[in-house]
Amino acid sequence: MAPSIPSRRLRPVLRAVTATAAATLLLSACTGGSGAAGAGDTSGNQLLTIPREDLATFTRNFNPLSPQAAPMTLQAVYEPLVVHSMADGKDTPWLAAKWEQAKDGKSLTFTLREGVKWSDGQALTADDVVYTFQLQKKVLGGFDYLDKVTAVDAHTVKFSFNKPFSPAFFEIGGHYILPKHIWSKVKDPAKFTNPNPVATGPYTKIEKFQSQSYELHKNPDYWQPAKQQIAGIRMLAFSGNDSANVAFTNGEVDWTQSFIPDIEKSFVAKDKKHNHYWFPATGAMINWQLNTTKAPFNDPAVRKALSTAIDRDQITKVAMNGYAEPADCTGLARTYDKWRDTSLAASCTWTKYDTDAAAKALDAAGYKESGGKRLLKNGKPFTLDISVGSASSDWISVANIIKQDLAKVGITATVKTPDWSAVVNSYEQGTFDTGIVWSNNGATPYEYFRGVMSTVMVKPVGEKATENYHRYGDKKADKLIDGFAAAPDEPSQREQMNGLQKLYDEEAPVVPLFTGPEWGAYTDARFTGWPTEKNPYATLGNRNGSTILVLTSLKPVKG
């Protein structure tokens, strides 16, 4: 799987270490701390232990403005106004007790929950919310629709927009809040590592920080003490899926979001009473992105031909172990089934595997085959690279299947697997050929289509992009995306969404592969209260917006 994506952005992976070193650390890390006595501890003070397969080392950085922020910064330390769960589609009031959208769609007012304190004992106020969004726009930009943020009183905040913008609730409500009395004194907020965070979350005290492990203990001033039932969290760093999975399947950690091949046999069968998993189709669309600044990937006929050449059934059944479902030409993940244009989906051609059709399409586009090798229009061999981070064994398998399929139409592909930091840098700078890439995932498909088709998100090669790495934009898409955001009701939004799907089908801005399952597995030998298919209050992901719901629902097993 891919590295974590806080706030829908990827966190670069740091330098790798060996699995042996990681295992050695694990054994030492599980020997104690705050009453914990290792993996079998059920004293009631055991720490919830979570592996990170995408981060070989940790840096003591709890700055949510930083792409290098440590795991749990946005899940256990800082909190949002509202928590949205992709599992059941519900919005849970959090730091905000209630909210109201103006009828004209040009403002949103939140009423803050009373009695919330920062971990240093100071009260949360509307000024903190105002300052957070001012700082966000100054440091990271975005929120172009946001005209001003006003503290109506100590517990009421009004967000005023320069245009009707329906996705604002998801973006604003899900944004973390920072304490003004701390951050207003920071000289360079972008570079501040915030080693000892002051926040509202349940676990804000950082203890025993090492390069491959650290602990988060209870915030003594948490506003929901009754939901702070676990003693704390222990994070462990690993160099990839394999070493993290060894620790998990051996029962040495409690909760993982790592890809585990043949999980029934490798994990569940070891302890059917306690070992469980749930992989709902609530993840983002996983795309094969082709760098459209490079020929021939700037030709939609080529993009469609390459898409037709790949066998999505084999990708989902073999590389993804049957945990995913093939994409169609609407580009929509399973999360957005209610928005899908079913008539369009039924007529898809370029997302269906057909080697002969792919070869004919390449011929028609001017890319002929000679001696079993496909040629570019300049007569040179048609070759390409597929970039995937070395920690992602499942996506490497996906890339290798694509490589084999392309060979059948005379194209030579090379799968490149440096560490994720190098891969992400090539994406951000626009120097890559092709890559297996995640996409934006939100309450509606707005975020997805903006991320893959909006001209606003396109950056020139050499200028850092945080999404739309393939650098495709279409003015027609802009109009439809803006129309969706401004639409006053769902029927009006659906008209714009159908238009976006039609344009996506015509242009193939990316090659959609499959809906990413939201990986999640756990053992309830030491903690209970997990989300399940029967109780889907959150997903089992431990690095997304609904993770806080899990952390505040778990209870330790005692004795």
* H helices present in 454-507, as ranges: 475-486, 490-507
- Are 396 and 293 members of one domain? yes
Is 224 contained in some domain? Answer: yes
Q: 538 near 92, Cβ under 8 Å?
A: no
Measured distance CA(419)–CA(85) in Å, rounded = 31
- Are 275 and 291 members of one domain? no
Domain of 492, CATH number, reads 3.10.105.10
Retrieve residue 395's tokens. Answer: 């996506």
* Total of domains in the chain: 3
* H helices present in 291-431, as ranges: 300-309, 312-314, 342-346, 355-364, 393-407, 420-429
**Per-residue pLDDT at 392:** 86
- Are 35 and 86 members of one domain? no
Which distant-in-sequence residues (6+ apart) come within 8 Å of 342 by Cβ?
none
**Per-residue pLDDT at 1:** 57
Retrieve residue 352's tokens. Answer: 């269906």
* Residue 454 CA, distance from chain mean position: 19
**Per-residue pLDDT at 149:** 98
**Per-residue pLDDT at 400:** 98
Domain that holds residue 173: 82-183
3-state secondary structure of 100: strand
- Are 437 and 341 members of one domain? yes
Q: 543 near 534, Cβ under 8 Å?
A: no
Is 188 contained in some domain? Answer: no
- Are 109 and 159 members of one domain? yes
- Are 298 and 413 members of one domain? yes
- The torsion of the CA quartet 58, 189, 464, 413, rounded to 10 degrees, works out to 10
Is 191 contained in some domain? Answer: no
Is 331 contained in some domain? Answer: yes
Q: Pick from 85, 66, 86, 88: which is nearest to 77 by CA?
A: 66
Is 256 contained in some domain? Answer: yes
* H helices present in 149-231, as ranges: 168-173, 180-183
- Are 355 and 491 members of one domain? yes
Compute the C-alpha angle 93/99/101, nearest 5°: 140
Is 294 contained in some domain? Answer: yes
Retrieve residue 323's tokens. Answer: 């945990």
Q: HEC profile for 492-526? A: HHHHHHHHHHHHHHHHCCCEEEEECCCCCEEECCC
- The torsion of the CA quartet 535, 541, 544, 545, rounded to 10 degrees, works out to 10
pTM: 0.83
Which distant-in-sequence residues (6+ apart) come within 8 Å of 35 by Cβ?
41, 43, 44, 45, 46, 231
3-state secondary structure of 215: strand
**Per-residue pLDDT at 441:** 85
- Are 238 and 114 members of one domain? no
Which of 152, 183, 214 delimits the end of a domain?
183
Residue type, 150: T
Cα dist from 282 to 76, 229, 418, whole Å: 21, 27, 28
- Are 371 and 508 members of one domain? yes
Is 77 contained in some domain? Answer: no
Residue type, 339: W
Q: Pick from 279, 398, 284: which is nearest to 332 by CA?
A: 284
**Per-residue pLDDT at 9:** 33
Cα dist from 168 to 85, 105, 162, 201, 559, whole Å: 16, 9, 12, 23, 47
Q: HEC profile for 230-265? A: CCEEEEEECCCHHHHHHHHHCCCCCEECCCCCCHHH
- Are 324 and 386 members of one domain? yes
Is 76 contained in some domain? Answer: no
- Are 440 and 385 members of one domain? yes
Return the DSSP state at 315. Answer: I
Dihedral sign (CA 285, 428, 432, 463): positive
* H helices present in 71-125, as ranges: none
- Are 301 and 397 members of one domain? yes
Per-residue pLDDT tens, the chain, 559 aa: give them: 555 433 333 333 332 333 333 333 333 333 333 333 356 788 999 999 999 988 889 999 999 999 899 999 999 999 999 999 989 989 999 999 999 999 899 999 999 999 999 999 999 999 999 999 999 999 998 899 999 999 999 999 999 999 999 999 999 999 999 999 999 999 999 999 999 999 999 999 999 999 999 999 999 999 999 999 999 999 999 988 888 889 998 889 999 998 888 899 999 999 999 999 999 988 899 999 999 999 999 999 999 999 999 999 999 999 999 999 999 999 999 989 999 999 999 999 999 999 999 999 999 999 999 999 999 999 999 999 999 998 888 999 999 999 999 999 999 999 999 998 899 999 999 999 999 999 988 889 999 999 999 999 999 999 999 899 999 999 999 999 999 999 988 899 999 999 999 999 999 999 999 998 899 999 999 999 999 999 999 999 999 999 999 999 999 999 8
Which of 153, 183, 213 delimits the end of a domain?
183
Domain of 94, CATH number, reads 3.90.76.10
Return the DSSP state at 123. Answer: B
Strand-pairing partners, residue 434, are 290, 386
Measured distance CA(255)–CA(393) in Å, rounded = 19
Return the DSSP state at 7. Answer: G
**Environment class of 327 (CB within 10 Å of its CB; exposed 0-12, middle 13-18, buried 19+):** buried
**Per-residue pLDDT at 24:** 37
Domain of 223, CATH number, reads 3.40.190.10
Strands 555-556 and 527-528: antiparallel
